[in-house]
Chains A and B, each alone.
Chain A
Amino acid sequence: MQQAGGGSETEVTWEDQQNINKFGRLNNRLHELEDEIKIAKEANENFEDASNELILTDEEVVRFQIGEVFCHVAKDEVEMRIEKMQETTAKHLEKLTDEKESVLAEMAELKKILYGKFKDSINLEED
């Protein structure tokens, strides 16, 4: 922990600069994570809707999009595929949420350190 510098001009050490840099990087990563989490949640919702539609339909063959084309696939296989994709997305979402929590914790730590040293001379809030 740094000793607070006296006088109206607080000393900025290399370690302080690195802390500030790290905070900036974590903040950027936080925004990226929030966007990715939103996309993953939307994908999950789409899968939910799709599997609900599947249950309601009485057709045996479903046009399932693979790449840019719609393949005729048996309903059971489509159910399996959607389930697999849901699992992958759910795991991905969990990983993202965990990373977001650790990023937030690190940022809170850095805020404590930086506010402790610089008090009012620094602003770490979202504008």
Chain B
Amino acid sequence: MATSSSPPQIASEVVAERRGIPAASFVKDVQAYLNQLGLDVNNTLAFLQERLQQYKVVEMKLLAQQRDLQAKIPDIEKCLDVVATLQAKKDSDEALLTDFEVSEGIYARARIENADSVCLWLGANVMLEYSCEEATTLLQNNLENAKASLEVLVADLQFLRDQVTITQVTIARVYNWDVHQRRVKNTSSSQDS
């Protein structure tokens, strides 16, 4: 398998799109780009602005997903902590006294003895009973999946932000090129007249 020797930040291969996000094409020469698109300057600028808006929409969506995942990970870690504590108490053969919330502001005392199994909320109104070991395994798996998803998401966001930057730079260059063209045309037409 061919290995890419380039560092991950500066990729020498250009990706056409990533997970449904189209890549912004890098413009080497503005004139050639305009000819290739077959549009005049204003339409090109409008097209690029629209692309930018689409990127922003996708960015909002990805950021929301990232926030959800970032909230989920500490929750899973807390659950792992609880299961570990229950297992530790079981080994020491003591009852565990806890104060838990019955309703908002109302707490009750519970005595947990010999916690052989725990019930895990799986979502969709489903709760299953697991032994402590199985629960730990399941929660570990969930935690690793969540962390892996977060990594992929972060990479997606980085790719997206790169495309946004490229598009913004292209817009600036097309605009500057247009200003430059007008100036050249004005000086040449004032020389003629």
Contacts and interface: CB of A to CB of B under 8 A. Distances in A.
Interface of A: 8-9, 12-14, 17-18, 20-22, 24-25, 28, 63, 66-72
Interface residues of B, number: 28
Contacts of B98: 66, 69-72
A29 to B, nearest CB: 9
A21 B166 contact: yes
Interface of B: 9-10, 26-28, 78-79, 81-82, 85, 96-101, 107, 110, 158, 161-162, 165-166, 169, 173, 176-177, 180
B169 A70 contact: no
Given A12-B169, A18-B10, A71-B96, A66 B82 contact: yes
Contact of B165 (A8, A9, A21): A21
B115 to A, nearest CB: 12
Contact of A20 (B96, B165, B177): B165
B162 A25 contact: yes
A99 to B, nearest CB: 14
A28 B161 contact: yes
A21 B162 contact: yes
A62 to B, nearest CB: 11
Contact of B26 (A14, A24, A68): A14
Ranked nearest first, the 6 interchain pairs of A and B with the lowest CB-CB distance are A67-B82, A72-B97, A69-B100, A70-B99, A21-B162, A69-B98
